[in-house]
Amino acid sequence: MDSQIREAFETLISEMEDPPDWGDLESAHTLSPPPRRTLLSGPMVAGAAAVVTVIVVGLVGLIGSEGEPAGTMIGVWQFDRYTVDGQSQDVVADVNVVREPWVTITADSMTGFAGCNAFTGPYQFENGEFTSDLVKDAAWCGPDDDTLMDVELAFEAVVWHEGSVEVGFSGDRMTWSNGDANLEFVSVESPPTTEPFQPPPMSEIGQLDCSPSVVEETRVPDEGQEVLDIARDADPSVVEVEEWQPLRYSGLDADGQVIVELALGDMAGADYQVWTCSN
């Protein structure tokens, strides 16, 4: 702790216009015979108090409470590492995520990209923890058995659970954690810019099997229309639609075969993802 205090003093003193000599400060920290009392004039007392106040306030800002690094959630952060079930992984585009995930945080809200879907909403930060009311798109990126959703699933394990999320800071890094998973972020100037995601060709998604053909995807804005109408626009052979998971639908033909797959995000104004088999 002494080395941390000394480092904080050195940083603070280096920024003063008329810094005191470190040796004087250090000698005041060592044991020595008590000096004779000297009565200080009013201005001298005020000046001494001001120096002490500046040093104390500076130390609090530099080392935080209980010796932990001070930090703030406000800013732009890139999500670059995660731990689930004791296994830590780096975030790698095209391996466990389709695009680099990030979050922009203001004093009372956060907006970002979890690796496949966008999210936004308010949050409350207090005593090193936050709670939130985030909403997120609900699309699935890549085949159902693919690893491209691993990062987003880790994000969900931390953020969408009962209770608060513990926040930690170290230098330019931030961590979010709960009892099940841990997310690591690095501070950046702006959200990462990448090329639009181009999903690899696949023959199956959800309950739709297009083998030996491949799946084609289109986007349809959610404007209050019926899911059945959207499915029929994609393929007129659809006679009914079944919701087999929350916000996931299958369009069936007269023989009960799935010929259209649909997914809708849970954010207002989200798009439907619509998958059909190519001809």
pLDDT one-digit tens code per residue, 165-181 = 999 999 999 999 987 88
Q: How far apart are CA 202 and CA 190, in angstroms?
A: 33
Mean pLDDT of 98-106: 89
Do residues 120 and 105 touch, judged by C-beta distance below 8 A?
no
Based on DSSP, count helices (H) and strands (E) in the chain, helices before strands. 5, 17
Output phi, psi for 197, to 5 deg: -65, 130
Q: What is the mean pLDDT of the chain?
A: 74
Query: What are 136's two structure tokens?
Result: 């997120």
Sequence-distant (≥ 6) Cβ neighbours of residue 243 within 8 angstroms:
227, 249
Do residues 9 and 29 touch, judged by C-beta distance below 8 A?
no
Domain boundaries, the chain: 2-67, 75-188, 204-277
pLDDT tens readout for residues 198-243: 555 666 777 888 888 888 888 888 888 899 999 999 999 999 999 9
Q: What pLDDT, on a 0 to 100 scale, did the predictor assign at position 7?
A: 59
CATH architecture entry for 75-188: Beta Barrel (2.40)
pLDDT tens readout for residues 22-80: 444 443 333 333 333 333 333 333 333 333 333 333 333 333 334 333 468 999 999 99
Is the model more confident about 87 or about 15?
A: 87
Instruction: Please give the full DSSP string across 195-215, using - where no structure is assigned.
Output: PPP-PPP-SEETTEE-TTS-E
Residue 204, by phi and psi: left (phi above 0), alpha (psi -120 to 50) or beta? beta
Mean pLDDT of 248-266: 89
pTM: 0.50
Is the model more confident about 194 or about 175?
A: 175
Is the model more confident about 134 or about 137?
A: 134
Identify the band that residue 194 occupies on the pLDDT scale cut at 50, 70 and 90: low
Is the model more confident about 162 or about 47?
A: 162
Mean pLDDT of 131-156: 79
Q: What pLDDT, on a 0 to 100 scale, did the predictor assign at position 184?
A: 95
Does the pLDDT value for residue 258 go beyond 70? yes
Mean pLDDT of 154-167: 87
